[in-house]
Structure 1
Amino acid sequence: MTKMDSKETSSTERVIKKYPNRRLYDTDTSSYITLAEIKQLVMDSEPFVVRDAKTGDDLTRSILLQIILEEEAHGSPMFTAPVLANIIRFYGHAMQGFMGGYLEKNMQALMDMQAPMVKGVMGANVFTQMQEQMQKQTEQFLGTFGIKPSA
């Protein structure tokens, strides 16, 4: 992505500006917002981008990672230490690009199944089978790169 591309924004995308004082400004509501409010935008599937107020650089990923870090620090974490270690091992690996796509597709599959499960269309047994299948696929995928998942 070029510097020019990073400054372009879809007209439907909400723009949040991040200032040097670390404050976040929502240009749609003309008010400062918190990370919790950005998390709510994510939960509502509202498209947005976070831009550095001075340079226009896209900071969206950085803000999303910050939200994940806060979520992991409270309550019950989603990622175990072995999972995080395996993700780190893929940085700099020849297959780094494929891992991102693999994780994204599996997350989307889970999101697509969430609605029917909430409505009770899917039984617990089917969900368990799907979970086991995804675990096997992940183990096979990691195994092709010599990475053994930890128990």
Structure 2
Amino acid sequence: MNPARVVVKKYPNRRLYDTSASAYVNLDDIARMVRNGKDVQVVDALTSEDLTRVVLTQIIVEDTKGQPTGLPLELLRQLIVASDHAGKEFIMWYLRSAFDAYQKMQGTLQSGIAGIKDVATSPVDTLRNFLRGPDRPTAPPDETEELRHRIADLESRLAKPKKRTAKKKPSKSPKKKRPNR
């Protein structure tokens, strides 16, 4: 037995007993365990026959009661019609392929949602990146601080009054006299 596996015994009175937790469970409990990633095996308490497939199918059937969702009717009909081994193998291959495609799509969707979540959780960073533009890297903190000091130094220089130095006035050239008329 796999140590990570949860073994559930099914008794003739249809009660289910989780041997690892030493407690009786129901179908919802088993579904929860499977959804949480636990490897659940259901065995008949008297014969030790593996009933996992039957119980998991029962969980799926119970989950779809009263809901318009579930497996498409045409697929269910084909499952019943495919009584030979080749037909069952093809349908199982098809279901596995469809489920694998679904899981890949879910993975892509989850990574897209994670990207959106990152953007949504940091609107300040998004705005900063937008204003900065894609080609301009952020200045390192020490460079930014240096620029602040230089600007402050320039502003203080501009604020100081300038010393006036005596400028030499250009010498005036004598005016030419105009003739009197």
- After TM superposition, the score normalised by the length of structure 1 is 0.67
**Residue 50 of structure 2 corresponds to residue 88 of structure 1:** no
Give the drift of 1:54.
0.7
Q: Could you say if the C-alpha distance between residues 100 and 53 of structure 1 is closer, same or farther in structure 2, counting changes exceeding 3 Å?
A: same
Q: Could you say if the C-alpha distance between residues 26 and 86 of structure 1 is closer, same or farther in structure 2, counting changes exceeding 3 Å?
A: same
1:9-37 Cα deviation digits (max 9, x unpaired): 32221100001110000011100001001
Identity of aligned residues (%): 36
Choose which of 55, 60, 64 in structure 2 pairs with 1:63: 55
Kept in 1, the 8 Å contact 2:16–2:26? The answer is yes
Partner in structure 2 of residue 33 of structure 1 = 25
Kept in 1, the 8 Å contact 2:79–2:88? The answer is no
SS state at 1:95 partner: helix
Q: Could you say if the C-alpha distance between residues 61 and 30 of structure 1 is closer, same or farther in structure 2, counting changes exceeding 3 Å?
A: same
Q: Could you say if the C-alpha distance between residues 26 and 120 of structure 1 is closer, same or farther in structure 2, counting changes exceeding 3 Å?
A: same
Provide the aligned length of Structure 1 versus Structure 2. Answer: 114
**Residue 114 of structure 2 corresponds to residue 108 of structure 1:** no
Unaligned runs of 5+ in 2: 115-181
Q: Could you say if the C-alpha distance between residues 67 and 53 of structure 1 is closer, same or farther in structure 2, counting changes exceeding 3 Å?
A: same
5 Å matches for 1:42-61?
Answer: 42-61=34-53
Unaligned runs of 5+ in 1: 1-8, 123-151
Partner in structure 2 of residue 97 of structure 1 = 89
Letter in 2 for 1:88: I
- After TM superposition, the score normalised by the length of structure 2 is 0.57
1: CA distance between counterparts of 2:56 and 2:24? 17
Choose which of 78, 83, 89 in structure 1 pairs with 2:70: 78
Letter in 1 for 2:49: D
Partner in structure 2 of residue 16 of structure 1 = 8
Kept in 1, the 8 Å contact 2:18–2:24? The answer is yes
**Where has structure 1 moved over 6 Å in runs of 4 or more?**
none
1: CA distance between counterparts of 2:97 and 2:31? 21
2: CA distance between counterparts of 1:93 and 1:54? 29
Q: CA RMSD in A?
A: 2.0
Determine which structure has more spread, i.e. the larger CA radius of gyration: 2
